[in-house]
Structure 1
Amino acid sequence: MSLALGCVADDYTGASDLANTLTKAGLRTIQTIGVPADDRALPEADAVVVALKSRSILAEQAVTRSREAEGWLRARGAAHVMFKVCSTFDSTDAGNIGPVMDALREAAGEPIALVTPAFPETGRSVYQGNLFVGAVPLNESPLKDHPLNPMRDANLVRVLARQSAGPVGLVDTATVARGAEAVAARLDALAAEGKRAAIADAIFDSDLEVLGRAILTKRFSVGASGLGLGLARALVADG
C-alpha cells in the first residue's frame, strides 16, 4: 500500500467526519480505530484515517499515540500526514494540539506547519487568525463553554502559541486570495523568521482548495475536515 494521504485524528467522531469528507471528494478512504497491527492487511486506498482518542488525555500520552500513528502511516508510503483536530480547536493551554503538532512536524522534517480548523460549510471560518462560529467569534458562541476544554479566546495565533514550543505566525486572507503560490511563499518567509506554525485564514471552500494546493508537496499539516477537503481536491485534480 502506498498512500497519498495519511491522517491522525484526535477523536473517533472527527475521524469519521474526515473519512466521509475525503470519500465524497473522490479518495478511496479507510478509517481504522487505533493504530493497526503491522501485519494487518488493508484494501488498497488513497487515504487512511487513524482514529485515536487523544484529545483530552495527558499531552505526553497524546504525543506518544500520535507518533505511533504517524509512523504507521509513513511506513505505508503516506506522502502527507494531516493531524486532524476539531473545528472548534478545543485544547487547553497545556495541549494537546500544540505538543502533538510540534512532535509530528519534527518527525516530518518540516520547518513550519500550516494550521487551520476552518470548514465554511459547517459554519467554521478563520479571519485574521480568529475562529468564527457562524457570524460570531468562538469566544462569543455557545461553543466557548466546552465541558472539558472551554475556548475563551478566538485568536488562534495566541491560543496555539501558548501551547506550542515554537512561535506562531499568520497566513492572512489577502495572501490566500492571491493563490497557492502566495501561500507557499508566505510559509517559507515565516519559517525563515523562525515561526514553526502558521494559522491560515479560510472563509470560503475555495480558500481551502488554495491551502490544499499550497501544502500538497509538504509532508505535514494540521486542520479540521475542511483542510482535508482542500487536500483531497488538490490530489484529485493532480490525477
Structure 2
Amino acid sequence: MLLGAIADDLTGATDLSLMLARNGMKTVQVIGVPEEGADFGDAEAVVVALKSRTIPADQAVAMALASALVLRAAGTEQFLFKYCSTFDSTDAGNIGPVAEALMDLLDVPIAIACPAFPAAGRSVYQGHLFVGSSLLSDSAMRDHPLTPMRDPNLVRVLQAQCAARVGLLPLDIVSAGAEVINAVLHKAQQAGFRLMIADAVRDADLRVLGKALAGARLITGGSGIAMGLPENFRLQGRIGSAAVPEKMAAPAGKSVILAGSCSEATRGQVDEAIAAGRPALKIVPADVAAGSQTVSDVANWVLANTDAGPALVYSSDEPDAVRAVQDKLGKDEAGLLVEHLLANLAVILRDNGFSRFIVAGGETSGAVVAALGVSSLRIGPEIAPGVPWTRSVGGPDLALALKSGNFGAPDFFQTAWDLLQD
C-alpha cells in the first residue's frame, strides 16, 4: 500500500478520501480502528476514519497508534495524520499528542503540520489560520461548542499541545520550491524543531509541499495537504488516473437529512432548506433529557413527512442557545443526547426503508455511521469541496453524504440529491 491515512473524524476522512480518489489513487475508507491483519485488497490508499477529535488525548493516541500498526503491517509506505482544516483542538490536544506519538512510532525526526484547504476558504499565512478573509479567531469557529478556536496563531496553538519545539515554514520558503523546503526542514531539525507549521494560501502551495514531501514517512494536515501526494507516486509509474464519477447509483429507498452540527454553515443550510419549504423538525436537547421528545416521536414525524421529499431533522442552533443548553445539561451531555437520538433515529429509519442519508456534523456522522453498522465506504461524486456522496461496502446498502459542519453552500441540502441516480 502506498499511502495510509488516519483521520480524527469521519467527515474529515471522507473529505480526504475524495481528495485522493480525485487525484488518481484507488482509495478505500474504513470506519474505526481496522482489525489486525486486515486485507485492503488492491487499494493504493487506505483512510482510517476515527472518532477521536474530542475524546481524551490518551485515548486518541491509543486509537491512532493501533491504526498505524495495522497500516504499517499492510506495507504502508507513507503515513498521513489528517485533522480539520480549522485545526479543531484544545490546549490538551489532540493534534499535538497524536502527531508526536506517530512520529515516535515511525521514527520520524521532523514533520509538517498544514491544515490549509484554499478551496474551502482555509489558508495559512505567517503561521496564522484564516477562514475566508477572517482570522480563525474572528470566524464562527470561536464559538464552536466543543473546540472553540480563539487563537489563530497555529505555532502557538500547537506548541501548547506538544513537548517538542514547533516552528514555522513561511510562505516565501514554500514558494521557493521543494529543494528549498527540504533544506529548511533539515536545518530546523538540526536546530531542535520537530513539528513545523507550513504556510499555504493557494492550491499551488500545497502541490509544492506535496512534491517536497515525496519521501516523508509522516505528514500531518488537512485534506488539502494530500493534493500533491498522488503525483509523486504517478511520476514513479505506480498509480494511474482513477476518476471520481459525476453521478452515483443509489440504492432504492427513502431519503432524509440529519443535521447535528451547530456551525454557521450548517445553520445557514438549515435555514435555506426551511425557507424552501422542506419539512423540518428541531431536536431540543432539554426536551430529550426530560423525555418529552423521544426517538419514537421523531421517527413517527419523519415517516409522516416524506411525501414532499427528504425531511430535515436538526439540532442546529445559535451559539448563545447552545451555551445555555450546555450550562444546563453539561457540555458533553448535551451533545451526546443529540448524537444518540440521531443515531438511533437513523437505525429506525433504515429499518423502515430509508437508504439515502445526508448527515451534517463530524461527531453526528460518526455516531450515525457506527449505529448503522457501516464498516467501509466507496467514494462517489463531489457535492461540494470536501464532501462526496459515498456508498457503503458490506453491511447495509446505503448512500451517505457525510458533511463537515463547516462545509457546503447554503443550498447544499437542496441540491445534493441531484447527483444520485435511481
Same fold by TM (over 0.5)? yes
2:149 counterpart letter in structure 1 = M
Q: Say which structure, 1 or 2, has more relative contact order (CA 8 Å, 6+ apart).
A: 1
CA distance in 1, matches of 2:83, 2:109: 20
Q: For residue 39 of structure 1, report the CA deviation from its aligned partner.
A: 4.2
For residues 25-174 of structure 1, the aligned pairs below 5 Å read: 25-174=23-172
Q: For residue 136 of structure 1, report the CA deviation from its aligned partner.
A: 1.1
Q: For residue 235 of structure 1, report the CA deviation from its aligned partner.
A: 2.6
What runs of 5+ residues in structure 2 fail to find an aligned partner? 238-422
Q: Which runs of 4+ in 1 moved over 6 A?
A: none
Aligned to 1:175: 173
CA distance in 2, matches of 1:39, 1:185: 38
Say whether the 8 Å CA contact 2:123–2:129 is kept in structure 1: yes
CA distance in 1, matches of 2:132, 2:235: 29
CA distance in 1, matches of 2:156, 2:104: 21
RMSD (Å), alpha carbons: 1.0
Aligned to 2:221: 223
Give the match's secondary structure for 2:28. strand
Give the match's secondary structure for 2:160. helix
TM-score, with normalisation over the residues of structure 2?
A: 0.55
Of the candidates 14, 17, 24, which is equivalent to residue 16 of structure 1? 14
What runs of 5+ residues in structure 1 fail to find an aligned partner? none
Aligned to 2:271: none
TM-score, with normalisation over the residues of structure 1?
A: 0.96
Rg larger in 1 or in 2?
2
After superposition, what is the alpha-carbon deviation per residue over 1:77-135, rounded to whole angstroms, capped at 9, x for unaligned? 11110100000001000000000000001111111111100011111000010001011
Identity across the alignment (%): 51
Aligned to 1:196: 194
Give the match's secondary structure for 1:88. coil
Say whether the 8 Å CA contact 2:37–2:70 is kept in structure 1: no
Q: For residue 233 of structure 1, report the CA deviation from its aligned partner.
A: 3.1
CA distance in 1, matches of 2:218, 2:61: 15
CA distance in 2, matches of 1:41, 1:83: 21
CA distance in 1, matches of 2:157, 2:39: 40
Say whether the 8 Å CA contact 1:129–1:201 is kept in structure 2: yes
Give the match's secondary structure for 1:73. helix
1:41–1:165 Cα change, 3 Å: same
CA distance in 1, matches of 2:40, 2:32: 14
Say whether the 8 Å CA contact 1:27–1:236 is kept in structure 2: no
- When structure 1 is superposed on structure 2, of 95-104 and 28-37 the one drifting more is 28-37
2:5 counterpart letter in structure 1 = C
Q: For residue 144 of structure 1, report the CA deviation from its aligned partner.
A: 1.9
CA distance in 2, matches of 1:26, 1:217: 19
Give the match's secondary structure for 2:193. coil
Aligned to 1:206: 204
Say whether the 8 Å CA contact 1:35–1:50 is kept in structure 2: yes
CA distance in 2, matches of 1:180, 1:144: 34
- When structure 1 is superposed on structure 2, of 227-236 and 92-101 the one drifting more is 227-236
